[in-house]
Structure formats: structure tokens, C-alpha cells
Amino acid sequence: MPHVVTQSCVGDGSCVFACPVNCIQPTPDDPAFELAEMLHVDPTACVDCGACISACPVDAIKPHSQLTEAERAFEVINAQYHATPRPRPKMAPVRPPLRVRDRGEPLRVAIVGSGPAAMYAAEELLTVPGARVDVYERLDRPHGLVRSGVAPDHRRTRRVSRQMERIADHPGLTLHLGVEVGRDVTHEGLLEDHHAVIYAVGAASDRKLEVAGADLPGVVSATQLVGWYNGHPDHAARAIDLSCRRAIVIGNGNVALDVARVLTMDPEALDGSEIAPEALEALRASRIEEVVVVARRGIEGSAFTLPELVGLRATPGVAVDVEDSELAGVAPGNAKIDLLRELPAATDGDRTIALRYRRAPVRVVGGGTAVGPEAGSDAVAGLEVERTTVDATGAVVGTGETEILDAGLIVTSIGYRGLPVGDLPYDAARGVVPNASGRVVDPATAEPHPGTYVAGWIKRGPSGFIGTNKGCSQETVAALVEDYNAGRLPSPVIEPEPEPAAPGRRERLRALAGELLAARG
């Protein structure tokens, strides 16, 4: 009974290392791993031991006999990956353990942020005997995008927070909630108390849509909307007006699909999830009937991944509509497009997600043309788009032909963006801190900033899945340990642990009374 990797795969590779016959691919040492949309069990090699099921942090792996009807597509996706034979070793790769020089003191590291990149860095550091890790989180709740980014209906993916909690429970780790670097502690202060500081602060903002009208009421970013429905303290109090019939989502990555799905699915299916109660109430009262997902490339350039498309197709009550003209131009054989080709026949529902292609935003149209209660106001009434083609180099080129799509809510979902971190160097074009394998470097001289490292989206930009951060953080920790071994990280100034206070008279009397009672039985 072969096992099957399904939608919630976060790509952290735990299953790969657990599999005794190396039948889960690609493996983390394979260059394809970084770009893989999910991992795949080879049904002909799987020995049905179930080790991968125990290892997976998000219960993404199932025996094929336990797949739901909607998950059957994953049986084909897993098998198809292995249909092309690739030579592979019989055993999964083994990562050499970190070799840390004994400097007569424990390795002490401060990590800023508590999302997946931070926790994977902590996990790796805590493999060093005696290591001490302090994790600083500015919010009063930990684990970053695991809590405030993953869609509430992706309940299995959200289970990755259990993995984060297990790491946080390590006795060598101290989690400091509600502590902001720059406000409550300084970078210099952290460096005094630790050998090194790792910034794993993610990409807290989003790319801005640079068109006229983008600041009109009714235009929100995915960061704001996702933060709102996930109850992120920065966004929970936001008022999102769902009184229009049609919303537009600009961009068609996985975040755009999350947003489109949450806005169209039956809100009752979100009851009991971790959605913010106010957002659930607003969705119950929503009048949105259609969400148009607008992309500037053609269907072959869809930024969403295959597993997310399978999940979207299976959302009850939501019809997904793709223009025939887009499907007609592509030959069968591309799994994502073949699935899209099946969509109109395979789905049915009260609300619709329309996937629209080759349209670049030109301007947000305000007031006047709206059909709903916002008619005549300054609020959003639609989006003017220019039809596009994609040239031989892959660049999007405008055709000059424009059209206006009516909508009362526009969500920009065109990618996240990292913000500057204190006085560290900042690459404004990419929204990242310049670094070499995680070591923060001065972009002009390539000189490293002593003791300062980055991991996750602030290091490499907003790409990949939760598990992608594991390899990213391991690379950073390897660089840090190399510097520690080479003596490039000065010893921290450690305050001596305070002596436990001698018991006072009252405590001594209480202890004596306890002993007497115990003696009497």
C-alpha cells in the first residue's frame, strides 16, 4: 500500500530522512529540492513502513487507501514524478553533524523573530551540546507566518506550529515574547550577551502596486487582508468592506489563491478554525459572489503551485472558471494546465473564482461606475487593465488594448517585501539584507558585519514553502559555527547567575511545619 504526499506538504524534508529506502524525492541535497512544489513518494519503491507518516510535521502523508476523493489527484502527481527514472542512491543523504570547537563556554546565540526560519535555526543550534538560544519576538504570540500567514482552512499545514512548539520547549531555548529589538533591547546589547545574533524577521511588508488610485479606500494588500482574517495584532482591527459583489485579486501566487478561496468559500467551513472571530462574522455577512484573480502573464506563467490548485478545485461551493482561449493554446502534458483544463467540468458552486490572464493593472478606478452601495463615492469601482503578451525573453509587454473590470474590493497580492533591519545594510530593490550564506555583509566592500547573520525571507526574499527555511537556516548556522570555531565571534559578557536567596524565617518555619506533619504521617 504505497504512501502518498498530499497538499499540506511543507517541504521540510523530515520524511526523506525517515524513509529507509530513499523513495521520497527530491532529497534536500538535490538542486531540484529548492524549486520543488512538494515531495513525492515513489509508489513502486515504497515499502509501506509508515516512517514518513510519523516524521511529517503536518500529516501530509497518507496510505493511498485513505485518500479522500479530492486527494486522489495526489496519487497521480506522486507517481508521475517518478515516471521518469532517475538514478538515486539506496539510502537517503545524511547531513554531517555540526562540529563545534570547545572554547570552554557554551555557544550563546540571540535569534530575532520566532517564525519557521528562526525556529529551524534554533533547532540546528541546539544540536550543539550546551548551546543556549534566546529567541526575541516583538508580538505577544510566537511563530510568525505559521500563525498569521497560513490560511485558516489549511488546518493541516497549521499543524507545523506543533513542530515549532517542540523546538521552543528545548531546555536550552528561552523565548522572549513582546520584546522588540530597537525598542526594548539593542543590537549592540544582544551582541554583548551572545556570540552572535541571527535576524529571521521575515518580510513584514508587501510590494506596492505602483498605479494611479492604488491608495483609494477599498484597495488592500494581501498582508493586510491575510493579517486581518488571521487576527494578526497589526491588522485585526482593520475594517474590510465585503459589501460588493465582485472583488479583484491582483497577482496569482499561492497567497492570491488563499485570499480568493477564503473570500468565496462557505464561511461555516471556517467555523472552529483559527480564523479571527470578527473576520468570520464579516465573511458570514459578505455579499461577494465572484473573485477575479488577475495575472499579467499567460496560463503557463501561473505563479500558484500544483498542490494549491488541487486544493482549490476541491473547495466545496466554489466554481473555478478559466478562459477557454488560454487553455486552447497549450498542448496537454503540463500537470497544472491539464488540471485547469478539467476545471470547468469538475467544479460547481454558488460563488466563482475567475482566473484571468494577460492583464496588467493600469489604474484603480474610483467612484461613479460602481454597481453596489459605493456608487458615486471615492471608493474603488474597478480596475483598468492593459492586455499583455509575453515576449521570447519572458518579459510582459503591453498591447495598448485596455478594459475596465468592475469591482468594489481590490486586493494586491504581488509579493511580500522585507523591511530594513535597524542599521544593517539593506538592498532596497530586493527587500533583503545583503549577505553571503547568511553572514550580513556590507554591499560595497563585501566585509562581514561581525556576529550578525540573517535567515529566511529577510535573507533570500519571499519565496518557497515553510520547509524551505530549514535548509536556509541550516546554511546560516553553518556559517555562524565556522566563524565561532575560527575565533571570529568574541565571547559574550556573561553576568554571573544570581545566588539563590537564603530562606527567610517564615520559609524556615513553614518547612519545619511540613517536616513535622510528614513525621506524624
> Which residues form the interface with ligand NAP (CB under 6 A)?
207, 250-256, 258, 295-297, 301, 303, 305, 308, 360-361, 396, 413-416, 462-465
Closer CB to ligand NAP, 124 or 258, in the complex: 258
Closer CB to ligand NAP, 286 or 305, in the complex: 305
Beta pairing, strands 132-137 & 173-177: parallel
- In whole angstroms, the minimum distance from the beta carbon of 76 to ligand NAP comes to 19
Q: Is the Cβ–Cβ distance between 320 and 258 less than 8 Å?
A: no
- End-to-end CA separation in angstroms for the chain: 60
- Give φ, ψ of 144 to 5 degrees: 45, -130
- In whole angstroms, the minimum distance from the beta carbon of 390 to ligand NAP comes to 9
Please tell me whether the peptide bond between 425 and the residue prior to it is cis, using omega within 30 degrees of 0.
Answer: no
CA distance 498 to 500: 6
Residue 338 in 3-state DSSP?
Answer: helix
Q: Is the Cβ–Cβ distance between 469 and 120 less than 8 Å?
A: yes
- In whole angstroms, the minimum distance from the beta carbon of 295 to ligand NAP comes to 5
C-alpha cell of residue 378: 471615492
Closer CB to ligand NAP, 77 or 360, in the complex: 360
Residues in the chain: 521
Beta pairing, strands 219-221 & 409-412: parallel
Residue pointed to by grid coordinates 503578451: 389
- In whole angstroms, the minimum distance from the beta carbon of 4 to ligand NAP comes to 17
Closer CB to ligand NAP, 415 or 448, in the complex: 415
Q: How far is CA 259 from CA 48, 104, 151, 172, 322, in A?
A: 37, 52, 8, 38, 18
Closer CB to ligand NAP, 9 or 139, in the complex: 9
C-alpha cell of residue 499: 545566588
- In whole angstroms, the minimum distance from the beta carbon of 305 to ligand NAP comes to 6
Residue ranges of E strands in 407-474: 409-412, 416-417, 435-436, 439-441, 448-454
Residue pointed to by grid coordinates 484597495: 219
Helix ranges (H only) for 415-487 are 457-460, 468-485
Closer CB to ligand NAP, 187 or 297, in the complex: 297
DSSP 260-285: HHHHHS-GGGGTTSSS-HHHHHHHHT
Please tell me whether the peptide bond between 26 and the residue prior to it is cis, using omega within 30 degrees of 0.
Answer: yes
- In whole angstroms, the minimum distance from the beta carbon of 380 to ligand NAP comes to 16
Closer CB to ligand NAP, 98 or 454, in the complex: 454
Closest residue to ligand NAP in the complex (CB): 253
Closer CB to ligand NAP, 6 or 254, in the complex: 254
Q: How far is CA 36 from CA 90, 298, 368, 465, in A?
A: 21, 21, 46, 9
Closer CB to ligand NAP, 235 or 439, in the complex: 235
- In whole angstroms, the minimum distance from the beta carbon of 468 to ligand NAP comes to 8
- In whole angstroms, the minimum distance from the beta carbon of 93 to ligand NAP comes to 24
- In whole angstroms, the minimum distance from the beta carbon of 144 to ligand NAP comes to 13
- In whole angstroms, the minimum distance from the beta carbon of 464 to ligand NAP comes to 5
C-alpha cell of residue 169: 520547549
Residue pointed to by grid coordinates 479530492: 70
- In whole angstroms, the minimum distance from the beta carbon of 304 to ligand NAP comes to 7
- In whole angstroms, the minimum distance from the beta carbon of 250 to ligand NAP comes to 5
Closer CB to ligand NAP, 181 or 256, in the complex: 256
Closer CB to ligand NAP, 44 or 399, in the complex: 399
Neighbours of 170 (CB within 10 A): 14
CA distance 197 to 256: 34
Closer CB to ligand NAP, 94 or 392, in the complex: 392
Taking each helix axis as running N to C, give the angle between helix 468-485 and helix 116-125, from 0 to 180 degrees, rounded to the nearest 10.
40
